[in-house]
């Protein structure tokens, strides 16, 4: 007998009407993803074709993480480029030639588009093709956009991974692909649990090195570890791979459901599944119970930012005893977050996209105990006496799977505790 679904049969918020917003939005651009991608892909280099603003964003966001030989840089578009007076393609060729002659360790080069390169319509796909012909097989050159016109901050990773899918070789092997850039230690936890159930071979996109490349085809099944990978999901399906839909592995329940969906696909017996998951499940349950004490009975409001909002709202409402007032997400892909929507406790407004002033009005009227939002909104809301959590921290911190479930709850309870302490100090 194979694994049963551990989830109750419910349609939660799957049928809830979505408030569609198409106004001004307050989010970082997709260049931000380079900060975590460059650490995962050890022989890749991300060359942003952008302005000094783009360079400053990367430098300040990466800050102390810059090594002697960084794996990202910015080719600055000068005023002459922007005015169309110089041939930016020629200049790009010469920057890349210099870079690759100095850095023979680079095996994958990503040309990353930005707002300025988009405005002058610099054709980076053509540049990548031309450079691939010049530098193959030693270096593979790909391109994607991290521009703030096109992408929110987690979409940079999606665009990067989606650019890699068309060049994966064809494979007929039955393989599991885990898709999404996770911290190594977290990724290893997932692989270890799946391997103990007898599931394999397991591939990870992105692979740490170009030489670890693997194929994709009709016998590939894939599980997403991040909910913001809509384009990558579509690119893999175009290559014939099949998605294993599941709630995302946040918290004990989400992790168990995610593992169970994969275990079902691979025909794992229930007793094997239970034996492998029992101890970490128990640890996760206890850690969440402890870390979520101060969250129980509290309300939460999500501004759209990372696309993690729906799975996190599911975790906070079902495992931490919170009530969601509004769950805003930049995009809602039903085929990706549908299983989380099924479980999300009914009641919150679901909103897609943003019209920031209207949403701020709703938030101020609701006075939630905790507001999850981007950095640009957090400071003004804190000044108004609201307690906030920076959404970007949820992407930079290890939060997936059983062993991080307590830390995930802790990320939300910490600002509430801090606010409580500040009130106490003020009263003394
Ligand atoms: S890509 Fe656009 S939004 Fe991002 S740093 Fe550059 S100019 Fe700013």
Give, in order, the Cα–Cα distances in Å from 1 to each of 116, 246, 278: 57, 20, 18
State how far the Cα of 278 lies from the Cα of 256, in Å rounded to an integer.
10
Q: What is the pLDDT of residue 426?
A: 64
Q: What is the pLDDT of residue 296?
A: 96
Helix, strand, or coil (residue 145):
strand
411 Cβ inside 6 Å of ligand 1: no
Residues 6+ apart with CB under 8 A from 70: 38, 62
The kind and range of the H/E element at 422 are: helix 405-427
Q: Cα of 376 to ligand 1 centre, how many Å?
A: 15
Q: Cα of 34 to ligand 1 centre, how many Å?
A: 13
Least Cα distance to 307 among 368, 248, 357 occurs for 248
Q: What is the pLDDT of residue 1?
A: 65
| Cα atoms in the 13 Å half-sphere on the side-chain side of 141 | 21
Least Cα distance to 16 among 279, 255, 313 occurs for 313
Q: Cα of 49 to ligand 1 centre, how many Å?
A: 10
| Nearest CA, atom 5, ligand 1 | 54
Q: How many contiguous H segments (helices) and E segments (strands) does the chain have?
A: 17, 14
Least Cα distance to 353 among 322, 309, 390 occurs for 309
pLDDT in single tens digits along all 428 residues of the chain: 678 777 766 678 988 999 998 876 667 889 989 988 988 999 999 999 998 888 888 887 766 455 545 777 777 777 666 666 568 888 899 999 999 999 999 999 999 999 988 888 889 999 999 999 999 999 999 999 999 887 888 999 999 999 999 999 999 999 999 999 999 999 999 999 999 999 999 999 999 998 887 999 999 999 999 999 999 999 999 999 999 999 999 999 999 999 999 999 999 999 999 999 999 999 999 999 999 999 999 999 999 989 999 999 999 999 999 999 999 999 999 999 999 999 998 999 999 988 889 999 999 999 999 999 988 899 999 999 999 998 888 888 899 999 999 999 999 999 998 877 776 666 66
Q: What is the pLDDT of residue 59?
A: 80
50 Cβ inside 6 Å of ligand 1: yes
Q: Is 115 annotated as a binding residue?
A: yes
| Nearest CA, atom 3, ligand 1 | 148
Q: What is the pLDDT of residue 424?
A: 64
Which atom of ligand 1 is least distant from the CA of 116? 7
From 147, 150, 151, the mutation candidate for ligand 1 (largest count of ligand atoms within 8 A of CB) is 147
Which atom of ligand 1 is least distant from the CA of 146? 1
Domains and CATH numbers, the chain: 18-25+283-427 (3.40.50.1980), 30-151 (3.40.50.1980), 175-279 (3.40.50.1980)
Q: Is 54 annotated as a binding residue?
A: yes
Q: What is the pLDDT of residue 427?
A: 66
């Amino acid at each position: 007998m194979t694994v049963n679904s551990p989830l109750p049969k419910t349609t939660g918020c799957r049928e809830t009407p979505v408030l569609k917003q198409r106004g001004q939005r307050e989010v970082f651009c997709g260049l931000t993803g380079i900060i975590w991608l460059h650490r995962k892909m050890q022989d890749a280099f991300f060359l942003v074709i952008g302005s000094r603003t783009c360079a400053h964003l990367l430098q300040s966001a990466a800050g102390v993480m810059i090594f002697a030989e960084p794996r990202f840089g910015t080719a600055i578009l000068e005023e002459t480029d922007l005015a169309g007076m110089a041939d930016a393609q020629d200049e790009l060729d010469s920057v890349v030639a210099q870079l690759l002659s100095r850095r023979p360790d680079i095996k994958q080069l990503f040309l990353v588009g930005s707002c300025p390169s988009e405005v002058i319509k610099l054709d980076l796909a053509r540049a990548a093709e031309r450079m691939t012909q010049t530098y193959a097989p030693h270096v593979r050159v790909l391109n994607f956009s991290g521009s703030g016109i096109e992408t929110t901050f987690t979409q940079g990773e999606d665009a990067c991974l989606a650019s890699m899918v068309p060049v994966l070789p064809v494979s007929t092997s039955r393989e599991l692909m885990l898709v999404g850039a996770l911290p190594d230690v977290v990724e290893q936890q997932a692989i270890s649990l799946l391997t103990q159930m007898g599931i394999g071979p397991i591939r990870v996109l992105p692979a740490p090195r170009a030489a670890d490349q693997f194929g994709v085809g009709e016998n590939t099944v894939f599980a997403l570890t991040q909910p913001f990978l809509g384009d990558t999901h579509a690119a893999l399906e175009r290559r014939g791979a099949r998605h294993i839909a599941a709630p995302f592995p946040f918290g004990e329940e989400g992790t168990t459901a995610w593992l169970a969906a994969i275990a079902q696909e691979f025909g794992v017996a229930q007793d094997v599944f239970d034996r492998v998951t029992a101890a970490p499940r128990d640890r996760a349950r206890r850690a969440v119970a402890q870390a979520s004490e101060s969250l129980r009975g509290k309300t939460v409001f999500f501004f759209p930012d990372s696309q993690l909002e729906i799975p996190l709202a599911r975790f906070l409402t079902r495992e931490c005893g919170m009530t969601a007032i509004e769950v805003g997400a930049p995009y809602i892909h039903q085929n990706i977050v549908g299983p989380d929507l099924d479980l999300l406790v009914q009641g919150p407004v679901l909103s897609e996209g943003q019209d920031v002033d209207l949403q701020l009005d709703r938030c101020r009227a609701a006075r939630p105990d905790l507001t999850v939002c981007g950095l640009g909104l957090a400071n003004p809301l804190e000044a108004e006496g609201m307690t906030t959590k920076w959404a970007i921290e949820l992407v930079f911190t290890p939060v997936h799977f059983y062993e991080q479930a307590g830390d995930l709850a802790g990320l939300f309870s910490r600002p509430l505790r801090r606010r409580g302490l500040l009130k106490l100090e003020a009263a003394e």
